[in-house]
Structure 1
Amino acid sequence: MDSMTTDTQRTPPSNEALPVQTGLADEKRKALAEGLARVLADTYTLLGKTHGFHWNVTGHHFHSLHEMFQDQYEDLTDAVDELAERIRALGHFSPGSLSQFLKLTSIEDEHGVPSADEMVRQLVRDNELVTRACREVVAIAQDAGDTVTEDLMNQRMAYHEKAAWMLRASL
C-alpha cells in the first residue's frame, strides 16, 4: 500500500461489512435468513435430483419427462441464486456447500435410478415439500414486515405448486 494513502481511502476487508439498516430488526433478519437457508437447501437438493432424473429417465414417456425435468431444473438453477442473494441482502451469509445443504434439507436423496413413475412421484413430493418450507418463511416474513421476502416466497410457492400439478398430471 502506498504510504501516502490515508485510512479513509482504504477499502475495508470483505469481512468488515457495514451494518444492514433497512428497517428490519436484526433478530427478524436472522430468522428470515435461517428460513431462507432451509428453502435454499431444499431447492438446491431438488435441483440436483431433478437434473439427475433428467439424465436417467427411460420409458415410453422419456421425451416429455426429459423435457419437463429440464424446464424444472433450469428454473431451480435461477431460484437458488435468487434465494442466496436474498439471504445476503438480509446481511447474512448463505450456505454454499453440499455438506451445508445436506444438513439443512428435508428432501430425501435418491441413490439409485428409480422408474420414471417413481421419479415423478418423488418430484411431486419434493416440490410440495419446498412449497411448505416457503409457506413457513412467509409467516416469518409477515411477522417481520418483510414484503420482499414474502413476495419471493409467494413466487416460489406458485412455481412449486404448478410443478407438482404438472408432474401429477403426467402419471
Structure 2
Amino acid sequence: MSKKGKVAKAELKIDSKAPKIEIGISKDHRAEIAAGLSRLLADEYTLYLKTHNFHWNVTGPMFNTLHLMFETHYTEAALAVDLVAERIRALGFHAPGSYSQYAALASVKEATNVPEAMEMVRQLVADHETVSRTARSLFPAADEAHDEPTADLLTQRMQLHEKTAWMLRSLLE
C-alpha cells in the first residue's frame, strides 16, 4: 500500500454509532474503498478550491470566458464533493472534512500564487487528469468487492474530469 493509502487508513474512522452494515460488502472491503474515496474527496475538494481561487483572480483578454468557465467548474465540483463524501458515509465511515486531512490525502496541489490565465488553464488540465487517475485507481477495490455504486460514481467522475481536461486543453492550442 502506498504512503497515501496508509495515511487514509490511519485517519479513517468507522462510524461507531451506526448500526451494523449488511450491504454485501465486507468491513475490510468497505474500509479499503472508503480510504480510496477519501483520497478522491481530497483531490476533488482541492481542485474545487483551486478553481474557485482562479475564478476570483483570473485577468487578461480571456477574463470573461475563463471567469465564467471556472465558475461552472467549481459549481460542479461543489456538488461532486458531496456525492463522494456521502458514498464514504454509506460505507459506514466518516468522511474527511478538514484542510489538514485534505492536504495529507490529496494528489492535487493547491495554488499558492496567482499565475497568468493560460498557466491557470495548464494547471487545471493537469489537475483534472490527476483526479481522473485517482478515481481510476479505485476500480480494482470496487470491482473486487462488487461495489457497483462506487464503480458508477467513479465512472461519472472520470467522464466529467476527462471531458473538462479536454475542453481546457483545447484553449491551449
TM-score (norm 2): 0.89
Corresponding residue number in structure 2 for 1:5: none
Corresponding residue number in structure 2 for 1:118: 119
Corresponding residue number in structure 2 for 1:107: 108
**Residues 39-67 of structure 1 deviation map (CA, whole Å, 9 limit, x = unaligned):** 00000000000000000001111111111
1 CA distance for matches of 2:167 and 2:62? Answer: 14
2 CA distance for matches of 1:85 and 1:25? Answer: 18
Q: What amino acid sits opposite 2:157 in the alignment?
A: R
1 CA distance for matches of 2:65 and 2:123? Answer: 17
2 CA distance for matches of 1:136 and 1:143? Answer: 13
Aligned length: 158
Aligned: 1:154 with 2:155: yes
Structure 1 segments, 4+ long, off by >4 Å, are: none
Deviation at 1:138, TM superposition (A): 1.7
Unaligned runs of 5+ in 2: 1-14
Aligned: 1:133 with 2:134: yes
Aligned: 1:73 with 2:58: no
Aligned: 1:63 with 2:64: yes
Corresponding residue number in structure 2 for 1:32: 33
Deviation at 1:107, TM superposition (A): 1.1
Unaligned runs of 5+ in 1: 1-13
Aligned-CA RMSD value: 1.0
Q: Percent identity?
A: 51
Deviation at 1:16, TM superposition (A): 2.3
Secondary structure, counterpart of 2:138 in structure 1: helix
TM-score (norm 1): 0.90
Contact residue 138 and residue 154 of structure 1 kept, 8 A: no
2 CA distance for matches of 1:91 and 1:78? Answer: 21
**Residues 22-49 of structure 1 deviation map (CA, whole Å, 9 limit, x = unaligned):** 0001110000000000000000000000
Q: What amino acid sits opposite 1:122 in the alignment?
A: Q
- Distance change >3 Å, CA 15–CA 25, structure 1 → 2: closer
Q: What amino acid sits opposite 1:116 in the alignment?
A: A
Q: What amino acid sits opposite 2:29 in the alignment?
A: K
Contact residue 51 and residue 69 of structure 1 kept, 8 A: yes
Deviation at 1:15, TM superposition (A): 4.6
